[in-house]
Structure 1
Amino acid sequence: MLDFFVLALPTLMAAGGIAGMIWAVVRLRRLRAAWRSGIEVPGRCLRLYATTTTRRQGPHASSSTTLHHVYEFTAADGTHHRFEESGGPATVIEGDAVTVRYPQGRPDRATALPPGDVRTWVGTGVLLAFLAVFVTGCAGFGVFYLTVFKPTGEKARERVEEPWRPPSAAPVTPPPLPDGAPSGFPTGIPSGFPSDLPTGFPSGFPTDVPGGRPGAPAPGGVSR
């Protein structure tokens, strides 16, 4: 559902841009058909007015003015027709006489623009270039969303929703215990203990015990 809402707006914008490109191409082909038909009838300008379009980009604003003419003419079969056309010359005002051209049998596709009008060609080229860039940008947004933004969001959501798990580590196998005594370890009771006293060790108690006590006066004298 989220993908539908995110991609719906750029899809509609791209569709509008493609429709504008088709309209510009069809209009140019109709003008060329009217110029090449060779059918020319006199006409008259009934009304002249201008429309102004303002575009804002943040604090900056730009405006463009387009002139519109309302023409009236009588076709070769005697029927009267009126049509409105934009992009005409500013020198044509109300009441001026003009030459109207239209394809064979299609007075509803009449034009008062002169054959090979430079402004018409340049304006159509600029419009097609702008719409091509616009449609490419919309398509690029959709591709970026599907290939970069959406997979990244899914991975982030999976990491948030899944329970935390400690990182798995490979089990550590303890080394095997030795089966017997290590090499060089004594296996019996040690021998070679000394059985006699060491040489020069006193083997008896002293026989002469000093008499008296320290500090006692010697017999027949004064103690010192």
Structure 2
Amino acid sequence: MLDFFVLTLPGLMAAAGIAGMVWAVVRMRRLRAAWRSGIEVPGRCLRLYATTTTRRQGTHRSSSTTLHHVYEFTAADGAHHRFEEAGGPATVIEGDAVTVRYPQGRPDRATALPPGDVRTWVGTGVLLAFLAVFVTGCVGFGVFYLTVFKPIGEKAEERVREPWRPPSAAPVTPPPATPSPVTPSPVAPPPAPSLPDGPPDDFPSGLPSGFPTGMPSGFPTGFPTGFPGGVSR
């Protein structure tokens, strides 16, 4: 549904531009057929008026004025015809006599423009170039939408609809393998010292020589008779 609404407007604009190009080509073919037919009859200008078209693009405004003439002529069969034509010369006013040309048997396609009118050719060429650029822009927008914008929108919609998943952890790189330590071979413990089976042979068996063997027989008699410094008791 979104694609329909997005592409409808540029599609209609491109169709209008193509229709304008077809109208310009058909008009030029009819003018050439009238100029080459060789049928020329006198005519008269009945009315002259101008229309002004204003175009606005943001703050820029431009306007163009187009002259319209209403002509009257009598065909070869005696029938009276009137027609309106845009883009005629500004020197032709009401009441002026003009030469009218039309293809054989088609007085409804009459024109008062002179053969090979330069302004008509230039105006038609400019119109065709503008409409070609306009149509190309509309078609380019549709192609851009279908090839670029729409795939991006579909991917974004898929991302939104997908359930959320936590980001997977980065694989852990195992540390490089280290060589296993070499277990030293067991060393035999030194032999325990042998304990003595009994007391040593040279252990003393009595008191040492000179050690007193009896109690003293009295108290000492050589006590001091005074204190140091000459103080007597």
Give the TM-score normalised by structure 2.
0.77
Alignment of 1:94-109 (within 5 A): 94-109=94-109
Deviations 1:34-84 (A, max 9, x none): 000000000111110000000001111000000000000000000110000
- Give 2:183's aligned residue: 185
Return the offset for 1:191. 2.7
Q: Quick one: structure 1 residues 60 and 183, their matched pair in 2 at CA, closer, same or farther if it must change by over 3 Å?
A: closer
Deviations 1:62-119 (A, max 9, x none): 0000000000000000011000000000011111111000000000000000000000
Return the offset for 1:156. 1.4
Compare CA radii of gyration and give the structure with the larger one: 2
What is the count of residue pairs matched by the alignment? 194
Aligned residues with identical type, % of pairs: 85
Cα distance in 1, alignment partners of residues 139 and 73 from structure 2: 45
Cα distance in 2, alignment partners of residues 194 and 44 from structure 1: 150
- Give 1:131's aligned residue: 131
Return the offset for 1:184. 2.9
- Give 1:28's aligned residue: 28
Q: Which amino acid aligns with 2:165?
A: R
Q: Which amino acid aligns with 2:71?
A: Y
Q: Which amino acid aligns with 1:15?
A: A
- Give 1:48's aligned residue: 48
**Structure 2 residue 72 is the aligned partner of structure 1 residue 72:** yes
Cα distance in 2, alignment partners of residues 183 and 56 from structure 1: 89
Identify which range, 162-171 or 31-40, moves more after superposition: 162-171
Cα distance in 2, alignment partners of residues 90 and 101 from structure 1: 19
Q: Indicate the RMSD between aligned Cα atoms, in angstroms.
A: 2.5
Return the offset for 1:170. 7.5
**Structure 2 residue 159 is the aligned partner of structure 1 residue 140:** no
Give the TM-score normalised by structure 1.
0.80
Q: Could you tell me which runs of 5 or more consecutive residues in structure 2 were left unpaired when the two chains were aligned.
A: 195-222, 228-233
